[in-house]
Structure 1
Amino acid sequence: MIKLSDIHLTLKSDAGPVNILRGIDLTVQQGETVGIVGPSGSGKSTLMSIMAGLELPTSGSVEIVGQKFENLDEDALARFRRANIGIVFQSFHLIPTMTALENVAIPLELAGEKDAFSAAADRLEAVGLADRATHYPAQLSGGEQQRVALARAMSTTPRILLADEPTGNLDGKTGEIIIDLMFRLHEKEGTTMVLITHDDALARKCTHQVRLEDGRVVSRETSQEEVLAGE
């Protein structure tokens, strides 16, 4: 489902080149959940951007759902992302002048869905916000905004869900609710899920845990439940 081969990303600066990613190799199979952890500055969010096609590596190969990104221009990447990848950001990225329902309907309308608002209403109901459909982001709590963002990310039934610190702006209890919701949707729909997090406990909820340090993968572990299931 996700295959990254020898991914390097080097950025220019006044002080010289800055190596953000230094030869990342990573494979994620269909239906897996992967928690990517590591200290600040280790390259976690950059790696997610590369998986999503929001940023291109300096060198190496990105292959998502059998499609190599180096063969796509920006417009083709946007179309591919819309059809295959849902993204949840730490800061929600909701459009403040649109209601919860309108925010969730955006990707459906872009995809040409005829019943975009009906499908969006179903997604809001799935995250427990049917009664907040006409509310604007400023009228919602942080947890509610993140649930709207999750509903939007899942609105087109993507094959892959990428989440960058999805609980970073939430209190502990609200964060647990969001994570439980994400895993329930994953189990229901079989979505491949990659979580970028600083929380080791959250990463251990995933089938696999990958640790980055200084732009490199330093370890990859499989959860004990997965080990026992394979025996």
Structure 2
Amino acid sequence: MSREPIINLSDIHLTLKSDAGPVNILRGIDLTVQQGETIGIVGPSGSGKSTLMSIMAGLEHPTSGSVQIAGEHLENLGEDALARFRRANIGIVFQSFHLIPTMTALENVAIPLELAGEKEAFSVAASRLEAVGLADRATHYPAQLSGGEQQRVALARALSTSPKILLADEPTGNLDGKTGDIIVDLMFQLHEREGTTMVLITHDDALARKCTHQIHLEDGRVVSRENIQEEALTGE
């Protein structure tokens, strides 16, 4: 019996208007991802990687095509329904952290939980900070944290509601190599423990090859898809 993919993109096009004429950002993307898979999406700058992630998250609307995420057709949802859907199903980690500077680490992690009506929001947030090794930094503000610590707070926030899908856009892009490795290891440890489907947008081929599958984009198209796990098993 076949499983329904948790991410199913069919013939996704995105065309933007400009003074010089239409600009084709995505050109017929087809992509399926099964529950629990880890996907590394690579490609040169301008290939459409971040835009594709935004479409998966319902932050960007395609010009045409079908976007089915966790059984829901996002093209059928209004903005309020999309916000509720993201809150229940998707965690997002950005390259630039996007923490609220006037809130402590604990408060930043608790925000999605409070919006979801979680009565024990701060207790759950504290456990998430502990999971990323920052229990002792809960009362610190973003400006008092290093880049790696801020990204760990952002990761704890993204996972605070136990989402089905974690989307990460260049999660190590603003970090030094050693700190980036710590964040990557942490993300994969949390994935292993919780079975979260993970999609990573990255310029780092080595990071992408830690995933079960690698997708290569060029000029708004999927040019290759590798099953890394299968290659490792066969020794190819």
Shorter chain as denominator, the TM-score bin is over 0.9
Deviations 1:21-55 (A, max 9, x none): 00000000000000000000000000000000000
Q: Give the one of 182, 205, 210 matched to 2:210.
A: 205
Report deviation, 1:228: 1.9
Indicate the residue corresponding to 1:149 in structure 2. Answer: 154
Deviations 1:191-215 (A, max 9, x none): 0000000000000000000000000
Indicate the residue corresponding to 1:43 in structure 2. Answer: 48
Indicate the residue corresponding to 2:180 in structure 1. Answer: 175
Report the TM-score when normalising by structure 2. 0.96
Indicate the residue corresponding to 1:82 in structure 2. Answer: 87
Structure 1: stretches of 5+ with no match in the other structure: none
Q: Assess if the C-alpha contact under 8 Å between 1:104 and 1:152 holds in 2.
A: yes
Q: Give the one of 119, 125, 133 matched to 2:130.
A: 125
CA distance in 2, matches of 1:80, 1:66: 11
Q: AA paired with 2:57?
A: A
Q: AA paired with 1:17?
A: P
- Count of aligned pairs: 229
Report deviation, 1:225: 5.1
Q: Give the one of 6, 16, 23 matched to 2:11.
A: 6
Q: Assess if the C-alpha contact under 8 Å between 2:40 and 2:207 holds in 1.
A: yes
Q: Assess if the C-alpha contact under 8 Å between 2:47 and 2:220 holds in 1.
A: yes
Indicate the residue corresponding to 2:3 in structure 1. Answer: none
User: SS state of the match for residue 152, structure 1?
Assistant: helix
CA distance in 1, matches of 2:125, 2:232: 38
CA RMSD in angstroms, aligned pairs only: 0.9
Indicate the residue corresponding to 1:57 in structure 2. Answer: 62
CA distance in 2, matches of 1:224, 1:185: 19
Report the TM-score when normalising by structure 1. 0.98
Q: Assess if the C-alpha contact under 8 Å between 1:207 and 1:226 holds in 2.
A: no
Structure 2: stretches of 5+ with no match in the other structure: 1-5
Indicate the residue corresponding to 1:17 in structure 2. Answer: 22
